[in-house]
Structure 1
């Protein structure tokens, strides 16, 4: 899995990088076919009193790209919220992929004759 973590108006410290990597381990436990992951962490200054911490993620899995974002007052809270939502999306995608698997043809009853009720 290729992992890219970038910051917008923010320096990505090693502690933030480790925190994101530890949270992403949960995702790879559920679905190990992740191709690439791009995390964007940002600080948006709307007013002097209100600072919004924003976390976005683009995750590529075979056949689909998932995009999620979350906003909170604390960056770690935004990351937690993002990973919870991403976990649900990945599990949902995994069940969809499994449920669309082709089933084999049903076997005819032994003897080659159709059963009559």
Structure 2
């Protein structure tokens, strides 16, 4: 799994990069056929916004999350993506 990390109005520190990579390994446990991940970290005034697009075998998954804390926004995003990836996996196994 290749993770592309982009920052808008924020400097991506090594701790942020490690945190994102650590959280995305959780998704890989549920569905191991994730090809590419593009994550955008954005700061707008006091809101921290995180967007992610996953390219999976058989489709794409997109989610976004906002919070006042960047780490909390990443956690929320991972929860959303986790539900979507599990749903996608169930669709593939039913067909």
Give the greater-gyration-radius structure (CA). Answer: 1
Map of 2:52 onto structure 1: 57
Residue correspondences, number: 95
Map of 1:110 onto structure 2: none
Query: Where has structure 1 moved over 2 Å in runs of 4 or more?
Result: none
User: How many angstroms apart in 2 are the aligned matches of 1:17 and 1:76?
Assistant: 11
User: How many angstroms apart in 2 are the aligned matches of 1:2 and 1:23?
Assistant: 13
Q: Give me the CA root mean square deviation.
A: 0.6
Q: Which has the higher helix share?
A: 2
When the two structures are superposed, what TM-score results if normalisation uses the length of structure 2?
0.98
Map of 2:2 onto structure 1: 2
Unaligned runs of 5+ in 2: none
Map of 2:27 onto structure 1: 27
1:88 deviates by: 0.6
